[in-house]
Structures are given as C-alpha cells and as structure tokens.
C-alpha cells in the first residue's frame, strides 16, 4: 500500500507544477514562424538571371529577421510556380532555424545565411535550364501550397511571391480559390516576357488586382515592390515591423539632345551632400526612361546609412564614389528616348517607395506633351518633393513658347497630384540651387 506523507505530497505538487510549466513553455516555443517563397518558373517569366541581386537581398533580409525578430523555430521553404504549383517540389528547404541563447559550434545561426545565399544561386541556375521552365503559370495553386505549409504553425506566417503575376492555366483548368488565414504577403514583381508588352501603368494595375484579391482571401497585409527596387532594408521592413522609414530618392532621366550630360555628376554630388540631412536609410534609384511599352533602364539601388564609426568596406567603395560612378554610367544615355514615359515611371517608382517615409524625385526631361490617358492617372504624390529639371530639344527652337507651355502644364499637373514642385533649368543646375530646391526654397 502506498501512503502519501506530507513530505511526498510537497514533492508531488512540485512535480506537477514543473510539468505544467514545461507544457506551457513547449507550446510557446513550438508556435514558430512559417516563411514560404514562391518563385515563378514559367516561360513567360524565367530565367531569373537579372533578378539575382534582388533574390540575394531577400535571402539576407530573411536571415536577419530569423536571427533577430521572428519567433523560433523559423521554417523557410522556397517553392516554384509552375503549371500545377500545388504539387511542385521544393526549390530549397524546408530549413528550420532555432536560435539558441548559448552559441554552439553547430548553431544554425552561423549557417542560415549561407544556406539561403546558396539557395538563391541554385534557384537562378535552375531557372536558366529550359527543361526546368513550365508552359503555364499556376499562381493560385502556389499560394494554396504556401498556405498549407503554414497550417501547423501557430505563430506568424509569411508568403513571398516572385512573379510577373500573369496567371495562365491549361485549357479547361480553373484556378484554385484563394484562401488565406492572416498571412503577411510580399509581392516582388517585374514585367515578364509577354508577346504584347504592357505599359508600366497596366502592369501596376495587375499587381493591385492581385493585392486586393489576396486581402479579400484573408491576408493580414499585402505589400508590393518592384524587383528592381528591392533592398535588404526594404524587405526587412516589409516582413518585419512593417513601419515606414528612410528616404526614397529617384532620378528619372530622359535626356534632351541639348542637355549637358556632365550635369548628372552635379546631381550625384548634391545627393551625396543632401543625404546626410535626410532620414536614413537613404535609397537612391537612378533610371533612364524608355518609351511607353519599354522598361526603364535602371541602376541597382544605392543605400546610405550614416555611421559614427566608418565601417570597413571590402569593396573599397563608399556612397559618394558609387553615386559618382552611377552618374558617369548614366551619361551614356544621352540623348534619351524620343518620348520617355515620365508619368508611367512616376507611378511605378512611387510604388517602389511604399515602405519609405520620405520621397524625393528628380526628373530630367524636355517634358513632351502629357498624353491624355496619363492626365487621369491615379497618382498621389502628397508630401513628395519633385525637382523638375527641364531642357528643350533642338526641335523646340522652332516654337519656344510651346516648350515653355509644356513645362508649365507638367508643373501644374504635378501640383494637382499634391506634389511639392520646384523647377530649375537642367543645364543651369548647381549644388546650391538643387539643395535649396530640396528644402522647398
């Protein structure tokens, strides 16, 4: 017979308390985080060679969030968008990352960054093989796979979709109905290789339709970024706190044939000076505009965050050097396209800065007549500083009044979009005049 003494009763109660406490801790620790990256492997989108930089930034941001912010264990899976995405095999993973308080030789925190960077290289390499690319694009099925992957996770769930967002299915196949359960979704997009190229505005309208459909399906939030404008900091904000921070600076150039290309170096020097007073991080994107159906030719974004102590840079290049090199490279696009799509590019790059707090645009152009279909473009530039840097084309010499009227019409239109506008003739730009323009003088 077993007799419970007062001493054994205390031991029993302590054991029960520890057991219950252990269950509580285990449940909390097993909540975890699910991250699924869906990559478009259709023939209309792949290969992904031009997207490698953006995918590397995504991998670096994911690694940072897994180690510093996300609730462990963090499970990461990269899967493909293909003809039947619900049954697609993984591109990478699933990896599980469990941050530990005590550093060990085999601690996953020392491996996750390397694994994800190796994943991006493997994905890009696979996308170049014709046998890996699919004839159709089942985006809905890929979203269903991602949602199913996170079913057992009690903590936050994230879905990243890399695509042109043209869903094309075999004849007779209907898309799976979108069903989400509070996932935070990030859309990383670019124009695909369509037979009939879309304008930037049409492409953005398609992205907005997908964003709305995902919200209606149950997504907690949807953020869209062009692949060409991806930076690690932007991804961290999109998948982390979600707060807006930093300054988005965009130079849109469509060089007239009278413009002096060397003035671009003055712009670079001015941006370097002004960046020290802007909210960090400062992200500078420089693009040469094409005609309506063509994609702008863009340099990779540059990021500047001032530091009290200068950090070592293995490349030996700092922000002013990179800005100057960028300006030198952009001088080669002179003169620019005959009719650069200024309005469409404004809309496109405004969307790229959705996670930034402050916005500055510099537009170098002859400002050809604003097309009728652009005058009603839904574009909100409230709080955005726009520096118009006009120069005439030689053909404008035959009707100088018409040129000046065009520039005035553009200034009026930009103000109607609620932009803060200043105007300086491009060939007469100085660092001081542009700084005053940024300050609203």
DSSP codes of every residue in 373-397: HHHT-----TT-EEEEEE---GGGG
Residues 328 and 300 in one domain: yes
pLDDT at 109: 54
Instruction: Kindly report, residue by residue over 283-325, the tens digit of the pLDDT.
Output: 999 999 988 777 899 999 999 988 644 444 434 469 999 999 9
Residues 232 and 268 in one domain: no
pLDDT at 182: 94
Q: Has residue 344 been placed in a domain?
A: yes
Of 146, 112, 357, give the one whose Cα is nearest residue 241.
357
Does position 100 have pLDDT exceeding 90, yes or no? no
- pLDDT band for 102, please (50, 70, 90 cuts): very low
Q: Has residue 388 been placed in a domain?
A: yes
Residues 157 and 282 in one domain: no
Residues 297 and 159 in one domain: no
Residue 246 CB partners (closer than 8 Å, separation 6+): 233, 279, 280, 281, 282, 283, 355, 356, 357, 358
Q: Has residue 96 been placed in a domain?
A: yes
pTM score of the predicted model: 0.88
Does position 379 have pLDDT exceeding 70, yes or no? yes
Q: State the Cα–Cα distance between residues 204 and 364, nearest whole angstrom.
A: 23
Q: Across all residues in the chain, what is the average pLDDT?
A: 88
- pLDDT band for 196, please (50, 70, 90 cuts): low
CATH code: domain of residue 379: 3.40.50
pLDDT at 371: 79
The dihedral of CA 84, 85, 91, 95: what is its sign? negative
Burial of 79 (0-12, 13-18, 19+ CB in 10 A): buried
Q: State the Cα–Cα distance between residues 53 and 79, nearest whole angstrom.
A: 19
Q: Has residue 3 been placed in a domain?
A: no
Query: Worst-scoring range by mean pLDDT, 97-111, 219-233, 257-271?
Result: 97-111
Q: Has residue 19 been placed in a domain?
A: no
- pLDDT band for 380, please (50, 70, 90 cuts): confident
Of 239, 258, 283, the residue that ends a domain is 239
Q: Has residue 220 been placed in a domain?
A: yes
Count the neighbouring beta carbons within 10 Å of the beta carbon of residue 131. Answer: 5
Q: Has residue 373 been placed in a domain?
A: yes
CATH code: domain of residue 140: 3.40.50.410
Does position 386 have pLDDT exceeding 80, yes or no? yes
pLDDT at 242: 81
Domain enclosing residue 101, as ranges: 32-239
- pLDDT band for 374, please (50, 70, 90 cuts): confident
Q: Has residue 27 been placed in a domain?
A: no
Residues 211 and 263 in one domain: no
**Structural domains of the chain, count:** 2
Residues 223 and 352 in one domain: no
Of 184, 214, 239, the residue that ends a domain is 239
Q: State the Cα–Cα distance between residues 415 and 361, nearest whole angstrom.
A: 13
pLDDT at 408: 97
Residues 335 and 235 in one domain: no
Residues 232 and 251 in one domain: no
Residues 162 and 259 in one domain: no
Instruction: Kindly report, residue by residue over 8-38, the tens digit of the pLDDT.
Output: 444 444 444 444 444 333 434 458 999 999 9
Residues 141 and 218 in one domain: yes
Residues 88 and 205 in one domain: yes
Of 219, 239, 259, the residue that ends a domain is 239
Three-class secondary structure assignment of 145-167: HHHHHCCCCCCCEEEEEEECCCC
pLDDT at 292: 73
Instruction: Kindly report, residue by residue over 351-361, the tens digit of the pLDDT.
Output: 999 999 999 99
Residues 149 and 256 in one domain: no
């Amino acid at each position: 017979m077993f007799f419970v003494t007062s001493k054994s009763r205390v031991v029993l109660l302590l054991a029960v308390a520890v057991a219950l406490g252990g269950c509580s801790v285990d449940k909390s620790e097993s909540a975890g985080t699910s991250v699924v990256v869906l990559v478009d492997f259709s023939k209309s989108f792949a290969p992904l060679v031009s997207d490698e930089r953006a995918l590397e930034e995504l991998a670096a941001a994911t690694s940072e969030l897994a180690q510093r912010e996300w609730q462990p264990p963090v499970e990461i899976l990269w899967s493909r968008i293909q003809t039947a995405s619900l049954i697609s095999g993984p591109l990478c993973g699933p990896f599980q990352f469990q941050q530990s308080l005590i550093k060990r030789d085999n601690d996953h925190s020392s491996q996750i960054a390397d694994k994800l960077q190796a994943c991006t290289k493997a994905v890009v390499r696979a996308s170049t093989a014709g046998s890996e690319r699919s004839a159709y694009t089942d985006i809905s099925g890929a979203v269903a796979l991602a949602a199913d992957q996170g079913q057992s996770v009690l903590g936050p769930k994230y879905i990243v979709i890399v695509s042109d967002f043209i869903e094309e299915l075999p004849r007779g196949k209907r898309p799976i109905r979108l069903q989400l359960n509070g996932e935070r979704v990030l859309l990383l997009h670019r124009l695909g290789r369509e037979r009939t190229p879309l304008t930037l505005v049409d492409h953005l309208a398609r992205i907005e339709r997908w964003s709305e459909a995902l919200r209606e399906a149950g997504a907690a939030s949807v953020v869209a970024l062009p692949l060409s404008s991806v930076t690690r900091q932007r991804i961290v904000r999109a998948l982390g706190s979600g707060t807006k921070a930093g300054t988005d600076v965009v130079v849109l150039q469509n060089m007239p044939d009278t413009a002096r290309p060397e003035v671009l170096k003055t712009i670079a020097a001015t941006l370097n000076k002004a960046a020290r007073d802007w909210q960090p991080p400062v992200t500078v994107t420089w693009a040469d505009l094409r005609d309506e159906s063509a994609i702008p030719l863009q340099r990779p974004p540059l990021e500047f965050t001032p530091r009290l102590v200068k950090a070592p840079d293995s490349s030996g290049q700092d922000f002013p050097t990179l800005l100057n090199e960028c300006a030198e490279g952009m001088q080669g696009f002179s003169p620019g396209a005959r009719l650069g799509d200024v309005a469409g590019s404004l809309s496109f790059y405004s969307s790229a800065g959705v996670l930034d707090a402050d916005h500055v645009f510099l537009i170098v152009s002859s400002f050809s007549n604003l097309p009728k279909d652009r005058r009603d473009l839904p574009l909100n530039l409230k709080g955005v500083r726009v520096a118009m840097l006009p120069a005439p084309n030689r053909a404008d010499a035959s009707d100088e009044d018409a040129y000046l009227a065009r520039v005035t019409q553009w200034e009026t239109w930009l103000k109607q979009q609620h932009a803060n506008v200043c105007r300086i003739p491009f060939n007469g730009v100085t660092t001081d005049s542009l700084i005053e323009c940024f300050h609203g003088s």
